[in-house]
Amino acid sequence: MKLKRQLLVASLFMLALPWAGCQYVKETESALRAGQLQALEATGQAVVALLAQQDWQLDTPTYQHESTVLESDADPVKKQTEHPSLFAPERPWRIIMDGYPDEWQSMPVRRLQHDDFAANLRLFTRKDRLYMLLEVEDRQRLYFDPTRGTANNGDHLVIRNGHGRDYLLAASAPGEMIARYQQGNRTRYQREIAGYWLDTSNGYNIELSMPLSLVSGRLGLYLVNASPLASEQQHLSHYEFSAQSLPPRLITTDNRLTQALELFTHAGLEMRVVDNQGWQRATAGEIDLSGYQASGSAPSHGALRALYRAILQRPPMPPKNESSLFGQWQTSDLSQAQDGDLTKGWYQQSSQQDRSLLSVALPIPSPKGVTAGVLVLEQSSESYLSLTDRAFGRLFLASSLALLIGASGLFGYASWLSWRIRKLNQATQQVFDSNGQFNGDSKTRAFQISRANDEIGDLSRSYGELLERVQQYTDYLQTLSRKLSHELRTPLAVVHSSLDNLTLQADERATKSTDESDRQMYQLRAKEGANRLSHLLTAMSEASRLEESISHGDAEMEKLDLAIMFTELTAAYNDIYQNHKINLQTDNPPLVALISPELIVQMMDKIVDNAVGFAPIESEILITLQRTEKSILICVENKGPLLPKKMQHQLFDNMVSMRDKKAADDSTHLGLGLHIVRLIVEHHQGKANAENLSDNSGVRFTISLPH
C-alpha cells in the first residue's frame, strides 16, 4: 500500500472524537445559557423589588419640582406639553475653564441652528455642579459695551432656571465672564456661575459651570447674536423662549440610585434605570470583561479560550439597536417593559462581533400602581464563559487524553516515517564532504539502500543508483591527470632523445647549406614543443601533489609576522616583474598568524602571477594587509579586464581559466593556479574571494586567514 493511502486510512479513525467532543460542548453551552438567563432574571427581580419599596427623592429637593426621580415623566399630560429635555451625564473628570473644547471631545453634541447663526451645545455634571460648553458660529462678534445704556447690548447668553430667573452672561473682551440677573430694578451679580469667553476662527466659545441648586431641575438657553442695528439681532434657543415659558427639564443621574444598583453588580453585568421616556437616571457596572478572571479559577490560556469560543459559535444573532446619544434610550424591549411586560433576549454585542449579549428589561412599579420606570440588565456571554474556563479546561484535558490514546498509533507511524526520512537524509549527507568530494575510499563509500516497498524505499534506491554513477565519474576525473601523465611521459622521452641525436649529428656534419639550417630550426621547435608538453604535465600534477601533501600533514604550521614576510616577497616580486610596480600597504604590525610559510609563498606566487598576466605594462599591483577582529585580510588589486559575473564564484574551481591565448612570456596556462590558491586557503581554514573594483578599473583578490 502506498504511503498516501496509509496516512489516509489512519487519519479516518480520528474523525469521530472531535465530532463527539463538539456536540458535548455545545450541549453544555446551551445549559449554561439557560442558567445565565435565569440568574440574570432573578437578579433583576430582586433589584426591582428594592426600587419599588423605596421613595427615591433627590438629595436636594429644590433641584426638581417633581416628587420622585422615576415618576417625573409618568404623567402623560406632561409628555405632550413639556419641551424636549436636556440630559447631562455624570462624569468624574475635572476641566479647566479656558474655553477650549479639548476636554469635551467624548461628550455628545446638540446642534442649535438659526439661518447663519448656529451653536454646538455640550453638557455634563460632576458632583453638585453643571458644566456647559457652547461653540458659537458667528461671522461678526460684538462684545458687550458697558458705556451704553442698555444692559444686554452685544452678543450674550441668557440662562433660565426652574424658578424662571434669567442669568445674563456677556463679555467686554475674551476672558472670564460674570453672570448678572435682575432683582426688581437692581442688577445683581451671581458669582457662583463661572464663565469664560474664547474667540475662535469662526466665532467664539463660552465655557461655564454653575451649581445644580441654581438650575432647580430646569435649564433654558437663549443666545443673542447682536448687530450694530438693533433690528437685525438674531436669537437662538433650544425651545420657545418667552417671558412666561417654562424651560425644559434638565435630566441628571441620581447618585443614591446608582449606589443602590452597585450593590447588585458584578464583573460583566451592567444595569441602568430609565424613566418612561427612556431617560437614563442611573447606571452601574460594565459589560466589558477585558482581562477578567473569575474568582478562584486558574488563568486560562488564550489559545484554550479561542478554541472554546470557536466551538461555541452559533448562528448570527440580531444586533441590539440602541440610541442613547443624549441619554434617552429607544429600543423595542424598553417599550414593552414600559407597558408592564418583562422582555429578554440574546443579541449581538456591538463592540465585539464575536460575542453575544443577554438583555433583560423589567418594569419598575410605583406605589401609585403604574410603571415608574424600567430596569435594564445586560450581560455579555464572556461572563459565564470566563466562569466556566476551569470546567472546560478539565473537559479539554479529558478529551485530549482520549484523543492521545486514539492518536498514538498514527503518531507512532508518523514518527517511524520521519525517522526513515531523517536516516536517508543523514546517509546522503555523509557521502560528501563540505567541498562536494566523496568521503573515504571506494570501499567505505557504500550507500545503504532500503528494501522497503514504498515511496521512501524507491527514493533510497534511486539515490543509490545516482550516487554510484556520480562516484564512478568522480573517480575517473580524479585519476585522469595521473593517467595522462603516465601515458605521455614515455613518448615525450622518445621525442627528447631523438631531437638530441639530430642535434648531435647536425653538429658533426657542420654543414652550412639552407637545408641544414632549416633542419636545425625544426629541431629547436620540436624541442620547445616537447618542453611545453612537459610543462603542461607538471602543471596538471602540481595540484594533485599539493593536495596529497596537505592531506598527509607534510606542511608544517608556525606563527609568523606576515608584515615582515610580505615585505621580503614584495621586494622579490619587483625584481622578477620589472615591467610592473608592485607596492605593499600594511596595518600597524605585528600581523601574526599561524601559517605554513611555504604554502603561503606558493599561494602569493599564483595570485601575483595572475595579476601580472592581466595588468597593463607599467601599471601598479597593490598588496594590502589588514587586521580585523577575527582574521587577517590579504588583498591583491590590479588594473585590467573585469571578471564576468558568472565567473566570480567559479574562478577558484579546477581547470577554470579566463585566458584565451598565451601570455607575453609564451607560457601556457591551464587554470590550475587559482585552484591551488583555494586549496592552500582552505588548508589554513580561511576563505578566498575575487571581485571587481568598485570603480570597475580592475580586480581585487581577497584572502581571509584566521589569526
Domain map of the chain by residue range?
83-248, 392-431, 488-549, 555-706
* CA quadruple 102, 213, 191, 197: dihedral, nearest 10: 30
Whether the pLDDT of residue 698 is over 90: the answer is yes
Band (pLDDT 50/70/90 cuts) for residue 510 is low
Q: What is d(CA 153, CA 242) in angstroms, rounded to the nearest whole number?
A: 18
SS3 416: helix
The pLDDT tens digits for 334-363 are 888 888 888 888 887 666 656 678 889 999
Dihedral sign, Cα of residue 33, residue 35, residue 39, residue 42:
positive
Band (pLDDT 50/70/90 cuts) for residue 72 is very low
Contact present, 448 and 427 (Cβ < 8 Å): yes
Residue 553 has a pLDDT of 67
The pLDDT tens digits for 259-275 are 888 888 887 788 988 88
Top-confidence residue, 365 or 698: 698
Cα(first)–Cα(last) distance of the chain, in Å?
58
Q: What is d(CA 21, CA 649) in angstroms, rounded to the nearest whole number?
A: 59
Percent of the chain with pLDDT over 70: 68
Contact present, 275 and 70 (Cβ < 8 Å): yes
Whether the pLDDT of residue 167 is over 60: the answer is yes
Whether the pLDDT of residue 445 is over 70: the answer is no
- What class, spelled out in words, does domain 555-706 have in CATH? alpha beta
What the block records as the C-alpha cell of 602 is 606558493
Q: What is d(CA 565, CA 320) in angstroms, rounded to the nearest whole number?
A: 88
- What is the pLDDT averaged over residues 448-471? 81
Residue 451 has a pLDDT of 79
Whether the pLDDT of residue 292 is over 60: the answer is no
Contact present, 208 and 135 (Cβ < 8 Å): no
Query: Does the domain spanning 83-248 belong to CATH 2.60.40.1190?
Result: yes
Residue 244 has a pLDDT of 77
344: left (phi over 0), alpha (psi -120 to 50) or beta: beta
Whether the pLDDT of residue 368 is over 90: the answer is no
Residue of 560, 554, 583, 569 whose CA lies nearest to 705 = 560
| Lowest pLDDT segment from 90-94, 186-190, 247-251 | 90-94
- What is the pLDDT averaged over residues 358-372? 83
Band (pLDDT 50/70/90 cuts) for residue 294 is very low
Where are the strands (E) in 493-630, listed by range?
Answer: 558-561, 581-586, 592-595, 620-627
Residue 404 has a pLDDT of 74
Top-confidence residue, 59 or 22: 22
Whether the pLDDT of residue 544 is over 90: the answer is no
Residue type at 466 in one-letter notation: L
Q: Tell me the pLDDT of the chain averaged across its residues.
A: 77
What the block records as the C-alpha cell of 535 is 610543462
Residue 435 has a pLDDT of 65
Q: What is d(CA 182, CA 203) in angstroms, rounded to the nearest whole number?
A: 28
| Lowest pLDDT segment from 286-300, 317-331, 580-594, 674-688 | 286-300
Whether the pLDDT of residue 68 is over 50: the answer is no
Contact present, 209 and 138 (Cβ < 8 Å): no
Band (pLDDT 50/70/90 cuts) for residue 446 is low
Residue 297 has a pLDDT of 47
Q: Is the peptide bond before 590 cis (omega within 30 degrees of 0)?
A: yes
| Lowest pLDDT segment from 37-46, 220-229, 351-360, 481-490 | 481-490
Band (pLDDT 50/70/90 cuts) for residue 67 is very low
Residue of 392, 197, 208, 367 whose CA lies nearest to 303 = 392
Top-confidence residue, 557 or 207: 207
Residue type at 55 in one-letter notation: D
| Lowest pLDDT segment from 200-204, 246-250, 273-277 | 273-277
* CA quadruple 450, 453, 454, 456: dihedral, nearest 10: 10
Whether the pLDDT of residue 562 is over 70: the answer is yes
pTM of this structure: 0.49
SS3 333: helix
The pLDDT tens digits for 609-665 are 999 989 999 999 999 999 998 899 999 999 999 888 766 666 776 555 566 544 444
Q: What is d(CA 437, CA 540) in angstroms, rounded to the nearest whole number?
A: 19
Whether the pLDDT of residue 81 is over 50: the answer is no
What the block records as the C-alpha cell of 276 is 418612561
Top-confidence residue, 34 or 295: 34
Whether the pLDDT of residue 585 is over 90: the answer is yes
Band (pLDDT 50/70/90 cuts) for residue 114 is confident
